[in-house]
Amino acid sequence: MAGKTRPMSQIKQMIRLHQQGYAIKAIARSLSISKNTVKSYLYKIGEAKLNMSDLLAVEDPVLEGLLHSGNPAYRDPRFEDLKERLPHLEKELKRVGVTRKLLWEEYKVSYAQGYGYSQFCYHFSQLSVSARSGTMVMQHEPADKLYIDFSGKKLHYIDIETGELINCEVFVACLPYSNYCYAKAVRSQTIPDFIGALNDCLWFLGGVPRALVPDNLKSAVTKSDRYEPDINRSMEDLANHYDTVVVPARAGKPRDKSAVENHVKIVYTQVFARLRNRRFFDLESLNEAITSCVDKLNQTRMQNRSYCRQERFISSEKHLLGKLPVDRFELKHYAELKVADNGHIYLGRDRHSYSVPHIHRRKKAQIVYTDRMVYIFVQGNQVAVHQRSKRPNSYTTNPEHLESSHREYMDISPEKYRKKASGISHSFEQLILAIFNQKGRYPEQLYRTCDGLFRLQRTYPIAMFDKACNIAVENRMFSSRSIGNMLASGMAGWNEPQENEMPMPGHSNIRGAGYYS
């Protein structure tokens, strides 16, 4: 599949549109990709005999590993050159007597390596913008689409501490069949606020339409941020979570979503005008007032209609909406990071490190993280899951991800030494406790002493070692070297019967006890 690799969230959208019966051309237009790309992916899925429902259920890195989409293809510089010339060529073509043949001849003079005439005409036709068509009456189906937009004007609330006016964007959405309306004030058009408002809208409706129709999605991004996911990908992730699709309106074509454009004007009249003389001191109270106005709008009888928006929505549309999932959508962020030699990936946004199984050191890992969780993938396989931590300059480590030697080192503690000694003898346990109860000694300074004692325990008989432990506790001898010298010299063997010791022979030249009395 030539060209730039597409995000897997977009491929999921393509699969959903294909399952809903959309033609390849319609899918390509909706997702702003070429028809050949759509054909290539569908052919790849069919050839590999992959189940489309199963592909929709897996995470994006797993899907990419299954499809093996490969690296972006080489882009022809002639095509890029023609794209740059396109506005000038279209303008010149409208002039009297100018033909494509003449334009091509001038094009070849300035760019000798350019396209031949047939390819020039073909690409020119593909790139040209078609003439604006007339309007048509749209017949909307119930529960089919949800139109989404931001109002141009803003509401505000007053910061109670500084008296500053805090401007707010107003998110507006409507179901065109019933004209059921939703509005909410948010702090900005940034991705978290935009996705949060859309989340709230779907739960307000109590169901999911078959398609979401937003305005040009770049309007939801106010500034570039390397840590923010692309808005298109975020919308697609949300759509995949709610089992729907995104069919964005064309940029600069407000008639594609005339229903919500009209509702923005209605919101100006029914919300902005009604709240113009009221003061609010926080976003929550402002949204309560907006909700009250929108509820009144939905419950007011429409002109030339025998019903209100809410009646038509409840009677004819709500039961046709798709079911909401158990959990609300969480905004996903994506990153590609290298696993460090210490077996961790560093998430720069939080300045926090997360462990990865040590066998993946120095490999590229794909990271998918939400506000609560961090998922780590290597070569299309999920290898680690962590709860997200925003504690800077810290590590979240799963002991199972470490090498055995590192894991053993991390498990070292006074309690571990005590338990190990208690399994050998009570005297040894008492010696370990006495060693760690020394005042002014840091526990890690004593670990090597304990390691030396365990080596001595394996070298000498248990009875002799126990005797040495008792002597050491009584005399506060807590050095493994002093206890080792005691065992080596036989001091710990005093008063112990020797198997090879011969009794003294009996003879008459012995002074009895009476001699000394």
**Residue 387, phi then psi, degrees to nearest 5:** -75, 135
User: What confidence score (pLDDT) does residue 69 get?
Assistant: 47
pLDDT at 255 over 70: no
Q: Is 245 exposed, middle or buried (0-12, 13-18, 19+ CB in 10 A)?
A: buried
User: Does an H or E element contain 175, and which?
Assistant: strand 165-175
Express each pLDDT in 180-236 by its tens digit.
999 999 998 888 898 999 999 999 999 999 988 887 655 443 344 444 444 567 888
**Residue 245, phi then psi, degrees to nearest 5:** -130, 160
| Lookup result for tokens 């509820």 | 295
CA distance 376 to 368: 7
User: What confidence score (pLDDT) does residue 439 get?
Assistant: 72
Express each pLDDT in 328-382 by its tens digit.
998 888 889 998 888 888 998 888 999 899 888 888 999 999 888 999 999 889 9
User: What confidence score (pLDDT) does residue 254 get?
Assistant: 55
User: What confidence score (pLDDT) does residue 88 get?
Assistant: 87
* 31-46 mean pLDDT: 85
Q: Name the β-bridge partners of 308.
A: 301
Q: Is 230 exposed, middle or buried (0-12, 13-18, 19+ CB in 10 A)?
A: middle
| Lookup result for tokens 């902005």 | 272
User: What confidence score (pLDDT) does residue 203 get?
Assistant: 93
pLDDT at 79 over 90: no
Of the candidates 174, 312, 352, 147, the one whose C-alpha atom is nearest the C-alpha of residue 246 is 147
| Lookup result for tokens 């009395």 | 517
pLDDT at 494 over 70: no
**Do 202 and 212 touch, CB atoms closer than 8 A?**
no
Of the candidates 266, 40, 42, the one whose C-alpha atom is nearest the C-alpha of residue 147 is 266
Read off the pLDDT band of 452 (50, 70, 90): confident
Express each pLDDT in 130-145 by its tens digit.
333 445 556 778 888 8
CA distance 407 to 357: 12
Average pLDDT, the chain: 81
pLDDT at 457 over 90: no
pTM above 0.85, yes or no: no
Look at residue 366 and give its three-state secondary structure.
strand
Fold of 145-320: Nucleotidyltransferase; domain 5 (3.30.420)
Express each pLDDT in 305-316 by its tens digit.
888 989 999 998
HSE-CB at 368 with a 13 A cutoff on CA atoms is 22
Query: What is the distance of C-alpha 489 from the center of its chain?
Result: 65
Domain range summary for the chain, segments of one domain joined by +: 8-67, 77-127, 145-320, 333-404, 412-493
User: Does an H or E element contain 174, and which?
Assistant: strand 165-175
Q: Which long-range contacts (CB under 8 A, 24 or more apart) does 476-479 make?
A: 476/434, 478/431, 478/434, 478/435, 478/438, 478/449, 479/449
> How far apart are the two ends of the chain, measured CA to CA in Å?
115
Question: Any alpha helices (H) in 358-479, and if so which ranges?
Answer: 404-410, 414-422, 426-436, 447-459, 462-475
Look at residue 482 and give its three-state secondary structure.
helix
User: What confidence score (pLDDT) does residue 50 get?
Assistant: 80
- 35-39, 52-56, 65-69, 194-198: range with lowest mean pLDDT: 65-69
